[in-house]
Structure 1
Amino acid sequence: MRAAVAWSLVLTFSAAGWGAQEPSGQLIFVSDRTGNAEIYLVNADGTGLKRLTNSPAEDTRPAWSPDGTRIAFVTDRDGDQEIYVMRADGSSPTNITRCPGAFEDFPCWSPDGSRLAFESDRDDNSEVYICRADGSEPFNVTRHPAWDSLPVWSPAGNLIAFVSDRGENREIYVCAPDGTGLVNISRHDAWDGDPAFSPDCNLLVFRTHREGNIALYLCDLAGLRLQHISRNPFWNEEADWSPDGTKLTFACSPAGNREVMVLNLKTGQQANLTNHPADDWAPRWSPDGRSIAFVSTRGGGQRLFVMAADGSGVKEVSGGEVTESLHAWRPRKP
């Protein structure tokens, strides 16, 4: 386990920024700037903005395939909320769930890109399903009368974490993709949610209400030991792992407004990267670890920004308002 984390807030983070280089990579995000939710693609420096979907329906929750060639997303263009997959340029959108009358949500790719996990109520309650990337062979993973949702695939592909209220409160469970080996990770009567696996698959971070505020906890998956890592009195939002697994970025409210923080898991030091009077939240680390994308109200409305991992070089990249916090970096090609 990591060393115990003590609360310490640093307003500036002394690490190398981009230097002479501009941020690299691409991001997808959702915006209703044309009147309904559509999916957009943009370069990390703000150039090359492209609208990928063009439908009068709501297109949302985009998720990159691991090789960055396909995007799964949620849409109601067929009258029901279904999961579609399209190419990275927006072409060939295909309904892969094809279940009239059902509600499908939260698509998540397997690490090899061959399957998708998602939520579906096709069996009259919310369950976690898996299907092939083309929609074939749908399989009910959870098979329980309770509400099961928000699936997250481990980077190794051997585990799926999800949130369930089968214990009369929301808990985090982990199981194999075939539903076997079910384990309650959070084990508490408080609200628990937003699980995220570490890149090496040894740890799982999640949010919990057990400390009186919304705190961040870490679970050592080998021994199921839990550790309180946020160690602050504030409302802490969902965490995102750095690519090397040594840090977490998340939003919290040390001065009333939301700020983007970075937590060093080895030292326990927390750094405020944004330190701005606006609300800043939903940080996502770039695949190369050099940049962090986040949503901010600075400048009016909700817009997508990118900054260096030390908080420098903040730049708006969305070219307008974004809807919710549904942005994601394009994975680097293997």
Structure 2
Amino acid sequence: MWNDNLVTQRLKIEYPIIQAGMAGGITTPDLVAAVSNSGGLGTLGAGYMSSDEVAVNIQKIKQLTSNSFGVNVFIPEYPEVKKEEIEEANKLLEPFRKELQIRTKNIPEQSESLFEKQMEVILEQRVPVCSFTFGISSKELIQDLKKENITVIGTATTVEEAMINEEIGVDLIVVQGSEAGGHRGTFSVPFENAMIGTMALIPQAADHIHTPIIAAGGIMDGRGVLASQVLGAQGVQMGTAFVTCLESGAKKQHKEAILNTSEEKAVMTSAFSGKPARGIDNQFIQAMKGHEDKLLAYPAQNTLTNDIRKEAAKQNRPEWMSMWSGQAPRLSKNKSARDIMSEIVSQVDHMIKEKSFC
């Protein structure tokens, strides 16, 4: 059976479908629990959360489901940012702040203890699954997680990154194609070198590692699930497919943009965060073109534009918001997570029964 494999067994779920741990408020406890209660793995995107926020959200999820769920965290990055670089970046952003009537922003000192505090909460709460993005964890931390019976998932965007994840001992590896929305997990090569599509990446990774693979990037329905398994993956991770669902915490403008756009509008940009990410093209992205050399490195640029993005949403200015999306927005639906899960499963079952994938 398509849903009886190492991914479902290790994650203790009915279907090998993971809702991606998208940071920034999209993955509400209601969304995470709805996916888990529907047989998949709901995931809390804790990348930007304080340790207290992580703890509160985990408790809410536990109140809503007794099934397995995960928490995704970011491997921290600490780039050196000079005062004059911040001043140059702020000059670019000043017209937007003036229009929105908000003050110029300085970057607070980045807490080097955030990641450690997040991990303390995950270990204390004995979250069933922990996934990492933007790099690899230490072998010692992975061992600590496994001692608490926490399943560990790594993220890779090249075969080499998949091999690195396997070497440090993760249980499962998300292999993420370039079709993915938002930030991809590239960490070992320049992002341009890792722009490899899901169809090309999955079979190559499957041929070079033994750890079970979870495919990601452009997968939106049962066709993508079954195709991923044919290519060598044992499960899928889906992000954009759940951004527009009813339980999603994405802003109304973000959902509407995805539901009403087309594939060529999902472009790569570093304008909002300083790290390449795929989102719906808009005025802010276009205005930043040609000024890439003045953008701060991630996460400094992300912090610097945060107030602009939030205020733009409040003032209904989607042209200045970051609206992440993968390359298959036409397949998005504004339904409950339960209905989306049910349709995916039914579609896979139907294709297998009718052999319509042959």
With normalisation by structure 2, the TM-score equals: 0.27
**Higher relative helix content:** 2
